[in-house]
Amino acid sequence: MKSHSPDPATPAAGAGRARNRRGEGVLLRDEIVAAAERLLEREGTEEALTLRSVAREAGISAPSIYTHFADRDAILDAVLDIAFERLLRLVTQSTEGVSDPVERLLAGCHAYVRFGMQDPARYRVLFGRQRAGRPGAGSPVDMSDLPEVWRRRLDAFMVLVSGVRACVEAGRSASTDPFADASTLWTSLHGAVTMRQFVPGFPLPPLERTVDDLVHRIALIQS
């Protein structure tokens, strides 16, 4: 009986994922990031992300990750970029077509807290990680001093600054420093999200009412 040699185009059993063809490197990189996002969403913590777990989720060998990412933190940075882009898109989409500046500011703030409540794992990665090189308490920082990557990631915050400034220009806010008041508002919104995530069952007021109160008080909204 004539024997048949294996088809060279068919990977042997147990050989793992086939090598990407020329031009498919970007696709593999996207697969790695998507695998990390799925793990983060499923496990709810960034500790679940290891090179081995991401490789297993993506169906590739762990060493092949190094072609695209230097280490686990590089994968997390890619996940961060996507999450910040998603946050910016949600905030900007929520304000489209809203002509009243106060209502526009409220819409953006509500979108922010919805993101935090509906996507808690990604939210914790965005704002819960301890990062090296941050300024000490009380040290003023100019946005231009931040690395370019962080200026881009904070575009959603700049939408908040613009929202407070628009209220001032329309005579609807008594703020004399929209940047500082937007910073305080962001901090307070973050606290509202974090309290509900980490202190479940505490008798806090409804989140929508909390957001409305924070915006009116901190942005010094005038009726």
pLDDT tens track, the chain, 223 positions? 444 444 433 333 333 444 444 335 577 999 999 999 999 888 888 888 999 999 999 999 999 999 999 999 999 989 989 989 999 999 999 999 999 999 999 999 999 999 999 988 888 888 866 555 454 444 555 677 777 777 788 888 999 999 999 999 999 999 999 999 999 999 999 999 999 988 888 899 999 999 999 999 999 999 7
What size, in residues, is the chain? 223
Q: Which amino acid, residue 65?
A: I
H helices of the chain, in order, are 25-43, 51-58, 72-95, 101-118, 120-127, 148-153, 155-169, 178-198, 207-218
- Residue carrying structure tokens 């280490």: 71
Distance (Å, whole) CA 222 – CA 203 = 29
pLDDT of residue 152: 80
What was the pLDDT predicted at 26? 72
pTM of this structure: 0.79
Rg (CA), the chain: 23
Q: What is the pLDDT of residue 125?
A: 82
Structural domains of the chain, ranges and CATH numbers in brackets:
21-69 (1.10.10), 80-129+144-223 (1.10.357.10)
How many whole angstroms separate alpha carbon 123 and alpha carbon 84? Answer: 9
User: Sign of the C-alpha dihedral, residues 72, 78, 82, 87?
Assistant: positive
